[in-house]
Amino acid sequence: MLLGAAASFMLMNDRVDFVCARAEHQGSEPDDALTMHDDRWAYCPASARDHHDWRPTGGVSLDDAKQFVRRHPIRPVDAMDPRSD
């Protein structure tokens, strides 16, 4: 159940309890769509319908969740890159 920008605008004062950390769901400009995970609001920057990697936020606003994913981009690990450990 994804909600569009109009619905998420009305919910900006509500807590977003999860953010998707799946690398493939990150993008240069996060989307405004919210969905539900464990009966709580969850935010996926790509508005993907499935295959999420939900991480708890502790309860933040939608704006704060979007700012977090912009400031802390998650990138896929390239299997061909040499390991540093």
Q: What single DSSP character describes residue 30? A: -
DSSP per residue, 46-76 = T--SS---EEEEEEE-HHHHHHHHHHS---P
Q: Where are the domains of the chain?
A: 5-71
Q: Tokens 């981009």, residue?
A: 73
Per-residue pLDDT of the chain (85 residues; tens, 9 = 90+): 455 554 544 444 479 999 998 988 887 666 777 889 999 999 998 888 899 999 999 999 999 998 888 888 777 665 455 555 5
Rounded CA-CA distance 26/21 in Å is 8
Give pTM, 2 decimals. Answer: 0.69
